[in-house]
Structure 1
């Protein structure tokens, strides 16, 4: 982490004390969540194809995390952020509506159908602390009248701790135009204008860059003129969508400047999972489960391995940037591993509140890192993914990261994210991420004692959360093992 000079430390500490003092207005909070975007998609993380000056501005003025983690798919990450709990505890480890593979080699563990009205959420805690709260954009945490993939309904918002939601967009908005990026940004701008006089929490969840990837035609033409392809890896539309997203964030940041809210607003930026590197054909997998075929490629997550839907780093390591003027030392780069479960305890400390007594919080406050004046206690990060998803070559697995070391346990079978080749059998993989960020050198055989201890801690954690360790499926049928029982409305 970048070192803090004495003057910056004194100013930051004084500002934090003022912000959290009883007589001071609490800081505003904005959480910007982008869909399906790789860490490397931002120029501040090394994108050589697209400049993202507005997100880079957040990094320049705040703290950029190199080892920030989420879950490998949409619904679980959103549930993790709002509940402050790992999926093994909140039971939201699968995208909704649910689908499954009942004849696969490993028996999938059943998950929750969605967040319930009585669940304790980040928004409820901040609202109770005096914040005006808004949920603008993608919801994907219920499949009933309360909300769907696209949005939380206005009528149900109060049951989930939100005072307002964005006005409904036109039909099929996320399938056309710019996926509602400009409209949601303008809705967010109005939220800022209407609530400038009181502490607010804005949860802004964009649909971009989820497929179908869309962007304004003039931006697509710009990248086509630069020689980028119409389809495939690093295609012109994908790169244009990144730039368009960055422009929209610039509009929001400029509005904060205009309203003189910048210095009193903590802005968080992250994505819900890694970028879509390769997708496999689900229909062909049913007829030939031993060798999956790729049917879509969009953006390379290198040097991270694999992408969306994967237990490897490309699926779960994402960009995360926090800007809080006067608190986050400008231009800080933090290499401490952090997780989406940390947002709730951090933001509750910011707001001067806490979770209800007895509520299990799985994360820790990141305030020592944000201030730049301390470290976190040594801890492990956990990942629980007991399901199949052929699109992303995913089989039931769980993972643990301790320091530089990461262990993945595949409970009964495996699909290579590079080749699509299927193989049966339990599998342990151990990597030293400091020397092997691409997870190419499996050290489980050489480091047997370390692997065994990490595996034991992983199993102990799963049980402690009240979750189930996947087992072999008594209904296993090789002829139908990768046949999916239902279709999802959104992937």
Structure 2
């Protein structure tokens, strides 16, 4: 009998469902594809990310929104901005995020880093996060040296030369240690590498008054910040090793938009100029590296088109977290591609872009990896013309004509997608752009700074 019970226990153990993986989703601030050495970047050293790519999967065609808040809303909700984006620095509180879904599935959830989704201490919990260490939740002090942060309901000010990214990263390390015995989700929207391009603690002049660098003009200082960002990620991976969680943890790394406007970076023998805020590829093309020992195909490079809306369904699929049928997503999972399988690659991605919200897009387009069609009819071969200087003529060869027709169907798929109630929220903060606010139009509420 004792032998039978022992055998039964062993069989039960062998057939038990494997532990759900931990998920760490890291998003760098203002970091284009060209900044990472594994992608061909030559200005900054990124050994930790390069190793994650070498041992995992490096994606070559990941695109997001050209600016911070629009990307964050799409990433967290899995929906195109046309459906639920209100205005800059804000997310509609009625939205469901991956934080909500993971918390409902029993995960411990935390968020650390940059917020910029509304000024209210209760919002992280509303969107599913048990705890947080954030910058720009209720105010906008320094993010780097001597920062001001919000930590689990308290405003914390640091005045002894502390470095904000270090404080946030230390909180992430502590979260991993405290939550090691059960699955956790850690969302880490980093403060680096956004301007101002100040010294990091590894800079010789960190303890001196930082030189005033105009946005995007100091490529070397930016490269130093990229290297420091990479160093912090290395510490995070080391903590996973120390706690024995490395093999049970899915790490996803991406950027939130292109590198800061005007910032030069050497890339594959050429100079790429950062194009944050612009709709060209250098404004939307970001690094994407996925590492998951034993699950992700090691050393694999994938050229499938990936959209910012695809991350929610992907991490949910990886963690076996169910998505309610009532939640109509625009994203599709690329988990099979992470495993080295063919999956269901998207043929195109559609973008509705207006940082200030309102009823109409500031720019609207559909693209695949070669062609890009704007709602105003401009049609580009973005492989031959990455800066989109010369639209293709009306007379197209058969391949281009067929692709243009296919991309036109993308616009049809999103006709009427913008709810009136969402559009009105944006109108209250300046409607269709900063231009109206600067011109003194109406008595609309002050729009937040676009950064």
Do they superpose with TM above 0.5? yes
Q: Is the 8 A contact 1:196 1:261 kept in 2?
A: yes
User: Does 2:32 align with 1:38?
Assistant: yes
Residue 3 of structure 1 corresponds to which residue in structure 2? none
Structure 2 counterpart SS, 1:249: helix
Residue 466, structure 1, aligned to residue 432, structure 2: no
2:367–2:407 CA contact under 8 A, matched in 1: no
1:331-357, Cα deviation, whole Å (9 max, x unpaired): 111110001111111111112122222
Does the 8 A contact of 2:52 with 2:291 survive in 1?
Answer: yes
Structure 2 Cα separation of the partners of residues 196 and 49 of structure 1: 36
Paired with 1:408 and 1:167, the residues of 2 have a C-alpha distance of: 36
Aligned partner of 1:193 in structure 2 is 177
Q: CA 1:43–1:455 in 2, change beyond 3 Å: closer, same or farther? A: closer
Residue of structure 2 in register with 1:165 after alignment: 132
**2:114 paired residue number:** 138
TM-score where L is the length of structure 1: 0.71
The CA deviation at 1:399 is 1.0
- Where 2:236 maps in the other structure, the secondary structure is helix
Q: Describe the SS at the equivalent of 2:365.
A: strand
SS in 2 for 1:78: helix
Unaligned runs of 5+ in 2: 1-14, 147-161, 207-211, 424-434, 441-445
CA 1:276–1:446 in structure 2 vs 1: closer, same or farther (change >3 Å)? farther
Tell me the equivalent position of 1:453. 405
Contact (CA 8 Å) 2:144, 2:164: kept in 1 or not? no
Q: Determine if the alignment matches structure 1 residue 91 to structure 2 residue 85.
A: yes
**Cα distance, 1:408 vs. partner?**
2.4
Change over 3 Å in CA distance of 1:198–1:481 after alignment to 2: closer
Flag the 1:450–1:192 CA change in 2: closer, same or farther, 3 A: same
Alpha-carbon contact 1:433-1:439 (below 8 Å) kept: yes
Separation in 2, partners of 1:218, 1:206: 18
1:114 aligns to what? 91
Once the two structures are superposed, residues 435-463 of structure 1 have per-residue CA deviations (whole angstroms, 9 ceiling, x without a partner) of 44444442243338457625632431331
In structure 2, relative to structure 1, the CA distance for the partners of 1:220 and 1:59 (3 Å cut) is: farther
> C-alpha separation between the residues in 1 aligned to 2:204 and 2:414?
45
- Normalising by structure 2, report the TM-score: 0.77
| Distance in 1 between residues matched to 2:437 and 2:129, nearest whole Å | 40
- Corresponding residue of 1:341: 309
1:221-300 equivalence runs, <5 A: 233-278=217-262, 297=263, 299=265
Per the alignment, in what secondary structure is the counterpart of residue 338 of structure 1?
Answer: strand
* Equivalence for 1:225: none
CA RMSD of aligned residues (A): 3.1
The 10-residue stretch of structure 1 (368-377 or 80-89) with the greater mean CA deviation from structure 2:
368-377
Query: Is residue 2:194 matched to residue 1:210?
Result: yes
| 1:404 aligned onto 2:381 | no
Return closer, same or farther for 1:404/1:43 CA change in 2, 3 Å cut-off. Answer: same
Structure 1 SS opposite 2:109: strand
Distance of aligned partners of 1:139 and 1:352 in 2 relative to their CA distance in 1, 3 Å threshold: same
Gapped runs of 5+ residues in structure 1? 1-20, 97-112, 146-152, 223-228, 279-296, 390-394, 411-427, 471-479
Paired with 1:276 and 1:167, the residues of 2 have a C-alpha distance of: 21
State whether residues 304 and 313 of structure 1, in contact with CA within 8 Å, keep that contact through their aligned partners in structure 2: no
**Which residue, 6, 9, 24 being the options, matches 2:18?**
24
| Residue 365 in structure 1 maps to residue 333 in structure 2 | yes
| Alignment check: 8 A CA contact 2:115 2:134 kept | no
Against the structure 1 CA distance between its residues 452 and 257, is the aligned structure 2 distance closer, same or farther, given a 3 Å change threshold?
closer
What SS is found at the alignment partner of 2:191?
coil
Aligned equivalents of 1:396, 1:243: Cα separation in 2: 34
Answer yes or no: is 1:488 the counterpart of 2:448: yes
Q: 1:127 aligns with which of 99, 103, 108?
A: 103
Query: Do the aligned partners of residues 252 and 462 (structure 1) sit closer, same or farther apart at CA in structure 2, a change above 3 Å counting?
Result: same
Alpha carbons of structure 1 residues 430 and 196: separation in structure 2 relative to 1, 3 Å: same
Q: Residue 309 of structure 1: which of 266, 277, 289 is its match?
A: 277
The separation in 2 between residues aligned to 1:257 and 1:339, in whole angstroms, is: 30
* Structure 1 stretch displaced more, 188-197 or 367-376: 367-376
Matched, 1:71 2:65: yes
Task: Name the count of aligned residue pairs.
Answer: 388
